[in-house]
Amino acid sequence: MLSDAQIPPDVSAGGAPDDQLGRPLRSLRVSVTDRCNLRCNYCMPQENYVWLPRKEILTFGEIAHLVEVFTTLGVENVRLTGGEPLVRRELATLVRMLAENPRIRDLALTTNGILFSEQAEELRDAGLHRVTLSLDTLRPERFLALTGRDMHAQVLAGIEAARRAGFQKLKIDTVVLRGTNDDELADLIEFGRRLGAEVRFIEYMDVGGATEWSHDQVFTRADMLDRLGKRYGTITPLEENSSAPAVRFTLPDGTVFGIIASTTTPFCRTCDRSRLTADGLWYLCLYAQSGIDFRQMLRAGASPEELAARIASAWRGRTDRGAELRASERHRGAFVGIEQLRQNPHLEMHTRGG
């Protein structure tokens, strides 16, 4: 734990300065691995990638130390992600280290659920607050077609384990692809309702491995509301003042669900999120082309004050609003092509964390 004496004066006075658009530094997504046990065709469709070299992957001690510095600057929400975070061995050890940091108010995990049933209780006992599970379909054969793996049953077991372990505010995230799973919105809402989980539908984004992305496959927020309105009747938006990406709605019976409309209705203006890759690069935006190398600084012996000063100055200069700029492009295809991805794995969604 950093003592107050180790925190630079401008920082201890009230955290990092807001960025150029007045956005505070509040949320950090920490990717613990670029590897994954699925091959979702909107994220990581190839079998093989240029993986990050093992010696460059941050140790748990390095991650906890960096996160600690971030929290002295105002970060209070930390989400572990990947790749698939549960393929990183002994993840509960990292969770335990982070849970000791009292500045973290929300310690969450995003997972595809495959390994969750084995680890749910250990992670809860280690101090994980919340979990979001990704589930795009309730149909095993569709799951196989979407992910390249016959593992639907393991995902459902993982979701059930999360419920049994007593995780509060359980969320299920579904990427909706036109012509692939847009006929399952209501089924997924019903599934979530039975489980006590809130379902959030995500518009298909043109990031990283989504090299086959095209506008026609985006099932938009308007499409979703139209489809669900026909099934359930009046859908009411919840009035909320939040920086969370999902806009939430209620069905006539009170069931709440969310829509993350990053593609058609970006929420960059309130974005307080940044991303740390498994090898210690810090990205100020999901669409940023380059990140700041904290692994090198850390391994060269940078002090907490130096790290904090670098973070604060980068955040102060931040102007990123990647999804907004993408939305304003007239002829939009995939953000990066496969050749560019092969040369720079840091452009992958599975490397920088979703």
Per partner kind, with CB cut-offs from 5 to 8 A, the member of ligand SAM, ligand SF4, none near residue 266 is ligand SF4
User: Is-contact 200 344, C-beta < 8 A?
Assistant: no
Helices (H), 33-127: 60-72, 91-99, 116-126
Beta bridge partners of 247: 259
Per partner kind, with CB cut-offs from 5 to 8 A, the member of ligand SF4, ligand SAM, none near residue 323 is ligand SF4
Per partner kind, with CB cut-offs from 5 to 8 A, the member of ligand SF4, ligand SAM, none near residue 207 is ligand SAM
Per partner kind, with CB cut-offs from 5 to 8 A, the member of ligand SAM, ligand SF4, none near residue 268 is ligand SF4
Tell me if 143 contacts ligand SF4 by CB under 6 A: no
Tell me how far apart the alpha carbons of residues 322 and 263 are, in angstroms, rounded to a whole number.
10
Q: Which residues contact 203 (CB under 8 A, 6 or more apart)?
A: 175, 176, 218, 219, 220, 221, 259, 260, 261, 262, 263, 264
Q: At its nearest, how many Å lie between ligand SF4 and the CB of residue 271?
A: 3
Q: Which residue has the tokens 């599975």?
A: 350
Angle among Cα 104, 68, 292 to the nearest 5 degrees reads 115
User: 287-298 in b/e burial notation, b at 16+ Cβ within 10 A?
Assistant: bbeebbebbebb
In the bound state with ligand SF4, the residue whose beta carbon lies nearer, of 243 and 344, is 243
Q: Which of residues 107-136 bind ligand SF4 (CB under 6 A)?
A: 112, 134
Q: Which of residues 247-286 bind ligand SF4 (CB under 6 A)?
A: 266-268, 271, 273, 285-286
Q: Which of residues 302-321 bind ligand SF4 (CB under 6 A)?
A: 320-321
Tell me how far apart the alpha carbons of residues 208 and 223 are, in angstroms, rounded to a whole number.
24
- How many CA atoms within 13 Å lie on the side-chain side of 304? 23
Q: At its nearest, how many Å lie between ligand SF4 and the CB of residue 148?
A: 9
Tell me if 210 contacts ligand SF4 by CB under 6 A: no
Beta bridge partners of 134: 173
Tell me if 24 contacts ligand SF4 by CB under 6 A: no
The SS3 of residue 57 is coil
Q: Which of residues 54-83 bind ligand SF4 (CB under 6 A)?
A: 82-83
User: Is-contact 79 130, C-beta < 8 A?
Assistant: no
Q: At its nearest, how many Å lie between ligand SF4 and the CB of residue 309?
A: 23
Q: At its nearest, how many Å lie between ligand SAM and the CB of residue 203?
A: 7
Task: Give the residues lining the site for ligand SF4 (CB under 6 A).
Answer: 36, 38-40, 43-44, 82-84, 112, 134, 266-268, 271, 273, 285-287, 320-323, 350
